[in-house]
Amino acid sequence: MTKPEAKSQPTAPALEKGLDLLEALATESRGLTQRQLAERVGRSVSEIFRMLVALERRGYVARDPSTGEYALTLKLFRIASQHPPTERLLKSALPVMEQLAAKVQLSCHITVLHGEQFMVIARIEPEWLMGWSVKAGTVFPLSQQYPSAKVLAAFQLPGRRDELAKVIADNDHVSLRKALAALDRISAEGGNFSNDDGYTRILAYCCPIIDSTGRAVAALTVPLVRQDQIPKAEAAAIAAELRAAAAALSERIGGLAGGS
């Protein structure tokens, strides 16, 4: 009996064209023109024109009117935040964050990477009359000004870590070597616990949330801002509580405790 020939997989050329464009833009630190995009995906400018118009209309890409370059928006990230893994991260994080805020009497927030930026996806306020916090949904550039940015970049797999270090170096107008040295210090300390680099605007303690591959999927941050100065002994206690909370959350998502 003759064996039937395997059926070829059905294709969706238009969908694949759109995905090619999104994937090409996702790998770029800056935008690309239509011509550059066409070269990158191996198609003509006329082939990708309608697709780019559709992606821009739906809010997945944005065109810079001065340069004509297209870049990804945060829409894909917002969609991803509704995806079960992110939802599970938040469900695991919120109880831990509530306990942390209650213990240290300071706000805390959790951030995740998105390309060359990072976003606050949740925050918890303590029962304290005054303090400092950021709104969920706020997006910041990757810069040494922000402890969360340094921690998220420091605890990545080597290739991705180098990419993010370059973004930080470009944003801060420093050498790549200096940016990498800052990330090495963060890695060695298991997080951000100092404000002596000359870049950080607001002192904040920050630890990574590590998954099973050893990379940071998020960062847990406690800004050390209050109406009174925090004594050194209390600051050390806050750091210890933060480390414990980050380790507990890493374990909850099946990852590694303490960045180990």
Span 54-86, pLDDT tens digits: 999 999 999 999 999 999 887 876 666 555 566
What pTM was computed for the model? 0.66
- Residue 135 pLDDT exceeds 90: no
Span 220-244, pLDDT tens digits: 999 887 656 778 898 899 999 999 9
Q: Are 247 and 257 in contact (CB under 8 A)?
A: yes
Span 24-53, pLDDT tens digits: 888 776 789 999 999 999 999 999 999 999
Q: Are 20 and 37 in contact (CB under 8 A)?
A: no
pLDDT at 136: 77
Span 93-114, pLDDT tens digits: 899 999 999 999 889 999 998 7
Q: Mean pLDDT for the chain? A: 85
